[in-house]
Amino acid sequence: MQLSPHIYDLVIRPNWFNERYIHQQIKKHCDFKQKTVLDFGSGTGANCILVSPINYIGLDTDLDRIGYSRKKYPQYQFKPLHGYQLPLPNNSVDIIMIVAVLHHIPVEKIDHYITEFRRVLKNENSEVIVLEPCLLNKKCLKNWVMKKLDKGEFIQHEDSYLGYFKRAGFNVLSINKFPKGLFYNELLFKAQLK
């Protein structure tokens, strides 16, 4: 059973949690000023506040979350995502932000989205910033708990996440691995167009 967007915001991702474990990490390594940002898998819209409303586009497959986001953040743009093709023109985005989304996508489908990321990114200075739950060696208990608690069926090791982007011709930089609360390992990395 999937939680309603409102309950998810209150219980799973309250504001203090987003700020501490997501926004602080991303703000240290990404400058959103004057940049067009695509929030791929925007969920309840909580990450939109990192970006100016005029420069933000949130995409999600869940229509309930899109509706919730539009009501909660009416100055921001949220669009539904159907299939693999991003509803954006070629070379229109400076930064793609992906927060806790890839581990929900079957492995065989990720390459389709990465092809689309290449299409919509503007130039060699454009980048993808990714924050995902990550399996770590020597953290067997935490890995097991993560897999049991999370609705995402495809939590992976660092090399797997980075490999998707490397194979698609991106320069990839692993930035940080850190604990998120008691039960999660997180990986933050960037992928930049060559």
> How confident is the prediction along the chain (194 residues), in pLDDT tens digits per residue?
677 888 888 787 888 888 998 999 999 999 999 999 999 999 999 999 999 999 999 999 999 999 999 999 999 999 999 999 999 999 999 999 999 999 999 999 999 999 999 999 998 889 999 999 999 887 777 888 888 878 888 999 999 999 999 999 999 999 999 888 778 899 999 999 88
State residue 156 phi and psi, 5-degree precision: -130, 175
The residue written with tokens 């930089």 in the block is 173
Single out the residue of 156, 161, 193 nearest to residue 174, CA to CA.
161
**Would you kindly state where each structural domain of the chain is located, as residue ranges?**
5-185
Query: What's the CA gap between 135 and 155, in Å, rounded?
Result: 7
Q: Give pTM, 2 decimals.
A: 0.94
Q: Please tell me the predicted confidence (pLDDT) of residue 5.
A: 85
Query: What's the CA gap between 152 and 156, in Å, rounded?
Result: 10
Range 5-185: architecture per CATH: 3-Layer(aba) Sandwich (3.40)
Q: Is residue 9 a contact partner of residue 44, using CB atoms and an 8 Å limit?
A: yes
How far is the CA of 154 from the CAs of 17, 23, 34, 116, 148, in angstroms? Answer: 23, 23, 34, 20, 12
Burial class (CB in 10 A: 0-12, 13-18, 19+), 186: buried
Q: Please tell me the predicted confidence (pLDDT) of residue 96.
A: 98
Q: Please tell me the predicted confidence (pLDDT) of residue 1.
A: 62
